[in-house]
Amino acid sequence: MLARLWPYLGGERWVVVAYVGAIVFMGWRAAVRAGAAAGGPLALAGALFFMTSDALLAEDRFARPFAAADAAVMVTYYAAQTLIAASAIA
């Protein structure tokens, strides 16, 4: 997704790369801290859902608007919140 959006981002490219890298790192760290048996996969899945919601939002804003973008972003965002909350209590 990042490669597809790269031409549209202009001067914001490295900010987006840093943001995506930070989310991947936080998801990985949460998964390692929680351990495989105690919610780690849920935390990692939550981070991936956050990236998906952000990618959908970027696709809608920068590349090509698509129908039902708001709903798709919100569904993936709330799925991320739910997975991260579940990983905290697992």
Residues 7-24: tens digit of each pLDDT: 777 777 788 778 777 777
Any domain includes 14: no
**Count of domains for the chain:** 1
pTM reported for the whole predicted model: 0.59
Q: How far is CA 1 from CA 21, 51, 65, 73, 74, in A?
A: 14, 10, 15, 15, 18
Residue 18 lies in a domain: no
Residue 86's CB is within 10 A of a number of other CB atoms, namely 14
pLDDT grade, residue 1 (50/70/90)? low
According to DSSP, residue 12 is labeled: G
Q: Domain range holding 51? A: 23-89
For 9, 66, 72, the CA distances from 27, given in Å and listed in that order, are 24, 28, 21
